[in-house]
Amino acid sequence: MTVVEADVSETLVLGHVVTLITGESHRIYMPSLRSFEVFNTDSQERFKVDVQSEDEYFLLSLPPGHYEMNRVQISEGPFMSMAHISATFVVKPEVMTFLGTWRFGVDSPKYGRQMVISMIYDKQDEERVRQFLKNTYPTFHERSLVMLLPQPSHEEARLFEVMPYPRYPNYFRRHWW
């Protein structure tokens, strides 16, 4: 996901997402984070963040305020699942905010599938994010960086299956309700 310096309105928010499967799976597709949504609780504005990866940094330009991450979409090839969570954080003006590493542990494909989200931060994360900024966005590298973990930093949510896009044939459907 790319952000151009000219597109940055006020503040920058960045983080690292990692998606992995927590049990056995015989699928050839590994889970990846497709997107997540953050909701500004002050202005009621929603921001959808497309990640499309199982291990990637994200960088957003958000106005200052109180935010809640409320929706996550996971994909495994043509299979998609969505979960509703509630993790809140505050974006302060004129600083870059690093939200830590978000680890999405996806349960094996089964009925009642769960997802565990843990948000962590350690000293190595700070070094890696500084190196990422230096390599990818050298103009942002010199800005002050604040470390902040969304709360709660650990949550479990039920994954609900989302119908695949129409271009996928019907034999990819797991349930015929």
| 58 half-sphere exposure, CB direction, 13 A CA radius | 27
DSSP 3-state assignment of 125? helix
Question: 100: phi > 0 → left, psi -120 to 50 → alpha, else beta; which?
Answer: left
Its pTM stands at 0.80
pLDDT at residue 52, as a whole number: 82
Most confident of 26-30, 49-53, 66-70, 143-147: 66-70
More confident residue, 27 or 39: 39
Q: Give me the mean pLDDT over the 2-29 stretch.
A: 72
Cβ contacts of 134 within 8 Å, gap of 6 or more: 141
pLDDT at residue 72, as a whole number: 92
Q: Give me the mean pLDDT over the 10-39 stretch.
A: 83
Question: 112: phi > 0 → left, psi -120 to 50 → alpha, else beta; which?
Answer: left
Q: Give me the mean pLDDT over the 95-103 stretch.
A: 89
Query: Is residue 89 pLDDT above 90, yes or no?
Result: yes
Specify burial of residue 32 (Cβ count, 10 A radius: 0-12, 13-18, 19+).
buried
Quick one: which of 72, 83, 152 has its CA closest to 113?
A: 83
pLDDT at residue 37, as a whole number: 93
The rounded distance, in Å, linking the Cα atoms of 134 and 34 is 26
Average the pLDDT over each of 9-13, 73-77, 125-129 and give the range with the smallest value.
9-13
Quick one: which of 7, 30, 12 has its CA closest to 20?
A: 30
Which pLDDT tens digit goes with each residue over 105-151?
A: 888 777 778 889 999 988 888 888 888 888 887 777 777 788 888 99
